[in-house]
Structure 1
Amino acid sequence: MTIPNYRPFLKWPGGKRRLVPLLASQAQWPARRVVEPFCGSAVFSLSIAAAGLVDEVWLNDINSDLINLFRVAAFELDPLVQICAGLFVPENNTAERYYYWRKVFNNESDPLQRAALFIYLNRHGYNGLCRFSASGSFNVPFGRYRRPAFPEAELREAAPLLRKARLTELGFEAVLEQCTAGDVVYCDPPYVPLSATASFTAYAPAAPFRSEEQAHLALCAGEAARRGATVVVSNHDTPETRQIYGKHITETIAVRRNISCKGNQRAKAAEIIAVF
């Protein structure tokens, strides 16, 4: 099984590009459909789709700006590229301009404009974080990169794959309850924090992903598996996740974390992969 080296057009904390082959090895291919209830950059599903291993793709995320961007990229690609090209210019790579465009984004309602600004903020903001305040405002600080690149080639590569995908903004329970035989589901939820100060679970204007949601995800994964789906879940390797996933854990791995802005301070973190 050969999986193309697909490059996502979004920077995404905890991105799984390097882990796609290992994650894919946990399931049988080809499959009828690949499903991601927490799709993020969608690197897993789009890599599988690019390899021709599935007939259908279902990308879901409660982050409405992410799903809006995927819809716009799928059906309004050229206007999106044109607007982005005007944003990715040297004069917009300053703190003053970044905070100006962040304010515009937080007050913008047009889907096309909001999608273009989302890409700009993703590439110019701190480490590609996507974080919202309790009031729903995007609040990631300026990233101070020398020359943020507009990922036009990656965007154009993704567009035809996104055009064929089902795109939704449902809770993970509503997705998993529709998964049955022939589905390969990859769940990459907000991770159990490694410490009390390391929690980063509210990347959309919604309630945080707490311990109760972590346990409920495992329950829903088990129910989907009993209907015939294969469900793969990744998370930090902690006492809590080992208690939740237990006998379903198939792999423990060390993954480099990319939250620090200094490469030499990006330590590796232990993760588990569980399969239902």
Structure 2
Amino acid sequence: MGGGSVFLNLPFNEYLLADSNPDLINFFTHIRETPEAFVNASQALFVPSNNISKQYYALREEFNKTSKSLRRSALFLYLNRYGFNGLCRYNSKGGYNVPFGQYKKPYFPHAEIDDFSAKAQAAQFFSGDFSLAFEQACKGDIVYCDPPYTPINETASFTAYSGKGFSWDDQQRLVDCALQAQKMGITTIISNNNLPQTRAIYATANKIVKLSVARSISCKGNTRKPCAELIALYKGQA
């Protein structure tokens, strides 16, 4: 699911939204089911006294230790807005480890939360391996997959989004799921970096679309260069 941009921009009657990160699913579930309580809990964190390094790391430590669902979801939003560059990253032990972002006044997305909550009434959420989502798909469904992208070089690797990593074997497993779903009349769309190895692994797709996209993860706007991506289409068989 990631940030849910595809979900938010497609007018279907119902959605199944899956992600390997349980914190993300917990966060979105609270926005859908208890939006007022979530806003109250999270907005209380957006105060000047929490916009200093010492307090940020104290709240990050609390997030890593707490099992209180609503509090954890509120802290998840706080860490996203106050942490460096909006990253979501965990260490090998599952601890959230994004450093302090040092922003003047982080924005609280109240309107966006309300809009998401309204849209999410037509959605179901679950956290788990992508294969479990494919198991719930039926003929005529469309599955969009946004896996951790294959790194463009050795220094650009980022698969610690949920603390578990995402290997090349996982990338191949995803293609296998798409091929199996295709036989069942389910269409699958996969996005990734446009690289020789990704073009090769998606060679069985019905179509590969190449495109140039803007990335906003760089902390310096003038260093954000267009990136080459691709979309692989596995059209469900009739």
- Report matched runs for 1:93-104 at 5 Å: 93-104=51-62
Q: Indicate conservation of the 8 Å contact 2:21/2:128, yes or no.
A: no
- Give how far 1:213 is off: 0.8
TM-score normalised per structure 2: 0.94
Deviations 1:132-168 (A, max 9, x none): 1111110001112221100010001111222331111
CA RMSD in angstroms comes to: 1.3
1:231 aligns with 2:188: yes
- Give how far 1:193 is off: 0.3
1:148 is aligned, of 89, 103, 106, to 106
- Give how far 1:79 is off: 1.3
Larger displacement relative to structure 2 (184-193 or 246-255): 246-255
1:63 aligns with 2:21: yes
What are structure 2's unaligned runs of at least 5 residues? none
Q: Which amino acid aligns with 1:40?
A: G
1:222 is aligned, of 155, 179, 191, to 179
- How many aligned residue pairs are there? 233
Q: Indicate conservation of the 8 Å contact 1:126/1:142, yes or no.
A: yes
- Give how far 1:273 is off: 0.6
- Give how far 1:258 is off: 2.3
Counterpart for residue 8 of structure 2 = 46
Query: Partners of 1:232 and 1:97 in 2: how far apart?
Result: 42
- Report matched runs for 1:11-50 at 5 Å: 39-48=1-10
Q: Indicate conservation of the 8 Å contact 2:63/2:75, yes or no.
A: yes
Q: Indicate conservation of the 8 Å contact 2:143/2:186, yes or no.
A: yes
Counterpart for residue 11 of structure 1 = none
1:77 aligns with 2:43: no
Secondary structure of the equivalent of 2:43?
Answer: helix
Counterpart for residue 28 of structure 1 = none
Moved over 6 A (4+): none
Secondary structure of the equivalent of 2:222?
Answer: helix
